[in-house]
Structure 1
Amino acid sequence: MAIRAVMFDFSGTLFRLEQDETWLSDLTDGDGEPLDIEAQTELMRRMTAPSGTVVELDEEYQHAWDNRDLDPDLHRKIYLEVLRKSGLSRPEQAEALYRRLVDPGEWTPYPDTAAALKGVAAGGAKVGVLSNIAFDIRPAFGLHGLDQHVDEFVLSYEEGAIKPDPAIFGILLDRLGVAPGEALMIGDSEEADGGARELGCAFALVDPAPTDVRVDGLLTVLREHGVL
């Protein structure tokens, strides 16, 4: 069956929160020592990990982690705790870095994001963005003139469901007006995004590598699935 719709994940798929040295250069550990490059890199990984637990948590904070993409308050609570447990003992530093995470303007599109979205739309297929997220990512697309190529956004905190729950894939499919067998899901998480296969969608995995490393991952999988 021909692909009539492509559903894209956001973080690590269409956009990436890139490590910016200016954000991290003044961060210090509990002893007041600057974080080394390995610690900085690990911080960014923990801020954007799509699944799994990145630090050891008690029952209260594990609940917040498991439900972070359903509730903005829980999202803020757990990420400030993750940053604290990752060595940022000064609350003002954790708050400043968290604000970067939830600012759509800080997210960088992959080099082929524009071409991928435009190519799918130009070919007559519907475009959807489906994200486990606790803040509005639409402005990130608007800043780069990409919102005009997206037919529907489905965000977990607005819908009360998170990937890999089949329900959230079903919401987007219904809004796009396509059957599961006519849709391709593209994402960076086998666990979360791969849940689309339970409904009968095709699935393609991309590497959430830095944007200067993964330059044509989206176009490659779209070609492999005959969309472009």
Structure 2
Amino acid sequence: MTTAQRPGGSPAVKAVIFDFYGTLVRLVPPMPPSHASVFERRGLGEYVERWGDQWSVGPADGEDNRAHSVDEATYRAWEVDRLRRRALECGVPAEEAGPLAVELDRATKSLTLELFPDVTAVLAQLRGRGLRVGLCSNWYWDLDRAVASCGLSDLVDAGVTSARVGVRKPHPAIYRAALDACGVAPEEALFVGDVWAADVVGPLAGGIRAVHLWRPDRAVDGVAPPLPDRAHRITSLHSLPELL
């Protein structure tokens, strides 16, 4: 484990706020249908190249969608309409764009998730110490259902998702919402996640200490950036309790 020097005199941590996907859970088979396969099945393969990678067509990091996050129905309608409008921009015929968007939205959310092996024991240990455990995720509206399906409901005190807050990490407002949900000040929280900008740079900018989770089997490629002050790096959640 490699860590940055912890600043002297830091207030005691009262809440640990985790990213969800890539930090606590991973995607396992059966994998969701690819967008390309949906286009091909509907006889629209000629538009696949213009469409691009399926993981890049969602809202951008830091995006503000608060106008659409007033309730679940409004947000879900906006998600599908985004895909419909993008399909039209790619040249998909208008009569095909709506049904295509509905199927693409369904395919994107057909996820089978599995907890990383270190999650349950570590979250239980944190709560046993009297710490609040929170989630802050760029996720769909139904983060609570995803948490329940993974068996985490009894180990998580509060959670916020970009769909409901209306902004995506690293927008400052989503971290403030997570702090409010956990009932702590920035200096009383520790943020843990695997994505550099969203889970380290963003929290640090909001006054929250951060832990960069750099798993050997991580979904994020590349080289781990140098650690700034008030940040640590671990390769397993099992190393987290000793930082506290």
Name the TM tier (shorter chain): 0.5 to 0.7
- Per the alignment, residue 79 of structure 2 pairs with 75
Amino acid at match of 2:140: A
Match of 1:2 among 4, 12, 17: 12
TM-score in terms of structure 1 length: 0.66
Deviation digits for residues 172-207 of structure 1, max 9, x if unmatched? 223322221121111232222331112321112234
Structure 1 position 201 matched with structure 2 position 218: no
Which SS does the other structure have where 1:145 is aligned? coil
Classify 1:76/1:106 alpha carbon distance in 2 versus 1 (closer, same or farther; 3 Å).
farther
Alpha-carbon distance in 2 for matches of 1:17, 1:192: 19
Structure 1 residue 156: Cα displacement: 2.4
Which SS does the other structure have where 1:185 is aligned? strand
- Per the alignment, residue 58 of structure 1 pairs with none
- Per the alignment, residue 172 of structure 1 pairs with 178
Structure 1 position 14 matched with structure 2 position 24: yes
> Does the CA contact (< 8 Å) of 1:11 and 1:48 recur in 2?
no
- Per the alignment, residue 153 of structure 2 pairs with 147
Structure 1 residue 31: Cα displacement: 7.8
- Per the alignment, residue 164 of structure 2 pairs with 158
Alpha-carbon distance in 2 for matches of 1:43, 1:176: 35
Alignment of 1:1-228 (within 5 A): 1-18=11-28, 20=30, 23-24=33-34, 29=40, 43=53, 45-46=55-56, 51=61, 67=65, 70=69, 71-79=75-83, 95-103=102-110, 106-193=112-199, 194-207=201-214, 209-210=218-219, 217-220=235-238, 222-223=240-241, 226-227=243-244
- Per the alignment, residue 56 of structure 1 pairs with none
Q: CA RMSD in A?
A: 3.9
> Does the CA contact (< 8 Å) of 1:72 and 1:157 recur in 2?
no
Stretches of structure 1 lacking an aligned partner (at least 5 in a row): 53-64, 211-215
Alpha-carbon distance in 2 for matches of 1:50, 1:119: 34
Which SS does the other structure have where 2:243 is aligned? coil
State the percentage of identical aligned residues: 30
Classify 1:84/1:137 alpha carbon distance in 2 versus 1 (closer, same or farther; 3 Å).
farther
Deviation digits for residues 34-69 of structure 1, max 9, x if unmatched? x9xxx9xx94643789739xxxxxxxxxxxx76399
Stretches of structure 2 lacking an aligned partner (at least 5 in a row): 1-10, 70-74, 220-233
Alpha-carbon distance in 2 for matches of 1:49, 1:125: 32
Structure 1 residue 108: Cα displacement: 2.7
